């Protein structure tokens, strides 16, 4: 039997009085693409730093590829690739020098594992003599990923690789992760973007140091137990004020050009009736529907806080 890629039991870590990670347990299987989804301050970075042997937990036990992150930290470091949230390559070395440096530290060469990084590094090759500090955000991200991969790790830890990255580069980055997964690399990735959950095999939804849920994204969506209504509108704020006056309606949340709402317990609203009522009140281009929730709906439901 082979060990899981990551195995965590009851890990906690406090900073002063703040519980950054609070009794978290989970396992990641080999070859899995596992997402830790949550806002800033949820504890994602602390958890990843514990698993990458850069921080000691206050309590609990964790193994990576079967090795204890405390007693076998040197072994773990050889098996993993890590891309921190903050760009931390050498700004005053060139693109190629950075990659060469990381290969050398791990006792290998660029040419030995070039195949693994080729897809990503080929975008950088025209700029291989440029200093890393002079690269654009998207290129820094690709270089950091190349450096994390150059020693052919079994596991990859990526801490918020898409934060502050535009919508297109985000899609491209997740496509890259999918290709790496196909090569059998286990990937643990954190992100504050809820929609990225759908790109993972399984996700943990994290908030204030705890996992709210951990499952396949579709199963998390399946567990949402309320009827969710959505209204397309060109005037979301006006519509929300109107809906909040309706005693049958519980939560009202804007989603771009839609407003999502749920009803009080045991109350059902007929979408057609509501649509007519809203049109009678003067709303134009209104369409009321019952919809399947997205991960962001689920996350807010699990947070159990009402937006004001």
Residues lying near another protein in the complex (CB under 8 A) are found at 38-42, 136-138, 160, 163-171, 192, 194, 207, 234, 236-237, 253-257, 296, 299-300, 303, 305-308
Rounded Cα gap, residues 249 and 227, in angstroms: 11
* Lateral strand order in the sheet of 155-159: 80-83, 155-159, 186-191, 33-37, 202-207, 210-215
Residue whose CB is less far from another protein, 104 or 164: 164
Provide the minimum distance between the beta carbon of 73 and another protein in the complex, in angstroms, as a whole number: 29
DSSP 2: P
Is residue 96 a contact partner of residue 129, using CB atoms and an 8 Å limit? yes
Rounded Cα gap, residues 291 and 305, in angstroms: 21
Provide the minimum distance between the beta carbon of 87 and another protein in the complex, in angstroms, as a whole number: 13
Compute the radius of gyration of the chain from its Cα atoms. Answer: 23
Residue whose CB is less far from another protein, 41 or 271: 41
Provide the minimum distance between the beta carbon of 280 and another protein in the complex, in angstroms, as a whole number: 22
Nearest to 263 by CA among 286, 237, 277, 244: 244
Residue whose CB is less far from another protein, 10 or 136: 136
Provide the minimum distance between the beta carbon of 298 and another protein in the complex, in angstroms, as a whole number: 10
Residue whose CB is less far from another protein, 5 or 252: 252
Classify strands 80-83 and 155-159 as parallel, antiparallel or unpaired.
parallel
Provide the minimum distance between the beta carbon of 268 and another protein in the complex, in angstroms, as a whole number: 25
Residue whose CB is less far from another protein, 2 or 304: 304
């Amino acid at each position: 039997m082979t060990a899981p890629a990551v195995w965590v039991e009851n890990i906690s870590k406090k900073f002063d009085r703040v519980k950054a990670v609070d009794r978290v347990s989970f396992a990641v299987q080999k070859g899995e693409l596992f997402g830790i989804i949550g806002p800033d301050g949820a504890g994602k970075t602390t958890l990843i730093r514990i698993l990458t042997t850069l921080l000691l937990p206050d309590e609990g036990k964790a193994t990576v590829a079967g090795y204890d992150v405390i007693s076998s930290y040197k072994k773990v470091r050889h098996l993993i690739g890590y891309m921190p949230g903050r760009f931390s390559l050498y700004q005053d070395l060139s693109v190629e020098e950075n990659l060469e440096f990381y290969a050398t530290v791990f006792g290998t060469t660029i040419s030995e594992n070039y195949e693994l990084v080729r897809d990503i590094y080929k975008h950088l090759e025209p700029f291989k003599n440029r200093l890393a500090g002079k690269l654009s955000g998207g290129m820094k991200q690709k270089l950091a990923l190349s450096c994390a991969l150059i020693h052919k790790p079994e596991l990859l830890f990526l801490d918020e690789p898409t934060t502050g990255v535009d919508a297109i580069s985000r899609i491209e980055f997740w496509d890259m992760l999918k290709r790496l997964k196909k090569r059998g690399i286990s990937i643990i990735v954190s992100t504050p973007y809820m929609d990225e959950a759908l790109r993972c095999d399984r996700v943990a939804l994290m908030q204030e140091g705890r996992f709210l849920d951990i499952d396949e994204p579709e199963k998390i969506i399946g567990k949402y137990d309320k009827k969710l209504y959505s209204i397309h509108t060109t005037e979301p704020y006006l519509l929300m004020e109107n809906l909040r006056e309706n005693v049958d309606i519980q939560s009202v949340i804007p989603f771009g050009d839609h407003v999502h709402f749920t009803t009080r317990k045991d109350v059902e609203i007929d979408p057609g009736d509501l649509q007519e009522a809203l049109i009678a009140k003067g709303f134009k281009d209104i369409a009321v529907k019952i919809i399947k929730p997205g991960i962001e709906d689920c996350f807010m439901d699990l947070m159990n806080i009402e937006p004001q």
